[in-house]
Amino acid sequence: MTHPDPDTPDMTGLDALFSDAAKGPDLAPSEAFMTQMMESALAHQPVPVAIAVPWWRQALSVLGGWQGMGGLVAATCAGFWIGVNPPDTMPSSFDSLLNIEAVYSNSEDTADLLGFGWVLEEE
């Protein structure tokens, strides 16, 4: 191989050498060493610990977490309020307990409810 300038190092040849070194398995660890490394890795591996979960956290999880719990509380409050102060058209819980049925008056003119307040005359 000729080199034009003896003072200039051959970088191209060195790059080829680097390239061979990068892909070459000349420094591959032995199988015995790999086995030793595997044993070392397992020996130093943290052991998974079962963490005790409190009962309330488990219950919360069953109910769908904080979001599910929030919905449940809102529904409970609404139900309680309806029970305490029911709408007029609903029998109160107290009446229901005494087996008293609600009586609906029909005092209003049904025409007001069922039509336009006037009757079509048919021929």
Partner 1 sequence: MNMPLDADTDTSDDVLLARYARGDAAAARLLVARLTPIVYRHAARVLGDQAEAQDVTQEALIRLWKIAPDWQAGTAKVTTWLFRVTANLCTDRLRKRRGVGLDEIAEPTDPTPSVEAQLQTKSRMDALQTGLMQLPERQRQAVILRHIEGLANPEIAQILDISTEAVESLTARGKRALANIMAPHRETLGYDDDTP
16 binds partner 1 (CB under 8 A): yes
| Sole binder of partner 1 in the list 10, 59, 82, 95 (CB under 8 A) | 10
Phi-psi region of 93 (alpha: psi -120 to 50; beta: other; left: phi over 0): alpha
72 binds partner 1 (CB under 8 A): no
Token pair, residue 105, equals: 């008056």
Q: Which stretch binds partner 1 (CB under 8 A): 11-19, 53-61, 65-73, 106-114?
A: 11-19
Q: Considering the complex, what minimum distance in angstroms separates the CB of residue 90 from partner 1?
A: 55
1 binds partner 1 (CB under 8 A): yes
Q: Considering the complex, what minimum distance in angstroms separates the CB of residue 53 from partner 1?
A: 17
The C-alpha angle with vertex 120 and arms to 119 and 123, in degrees rounded to 5, equals 135
Residues 26-55 that bind partner 1 (CB under 8 A): 26-29, 31, 33-38, 40-42, 44-48
Using only C-alpha atoms, the chain has a radius of gyration, in whole angstroms, of: 44
Token pair, residue 65, equals: 């977490």
Question: In whole angstroms, what is the distance from residue 92 CA to residue 100 CA?
Answer: 10
Residues 19-45 as b/e (b if ≥16 CB within 10 A, e otherwise) read eeeeeeeeeeeeeeeeeeeeeeeeeee
**Which residue, 1 or 84, has its beta carbon nearer to partner 1?**
1
Residue ranges in contact with partner 1 by CB under 8 A: 1, 3, 6, 9-18, 20-22, 24, 26-29, 31, 33-38, 40-42, 44-48
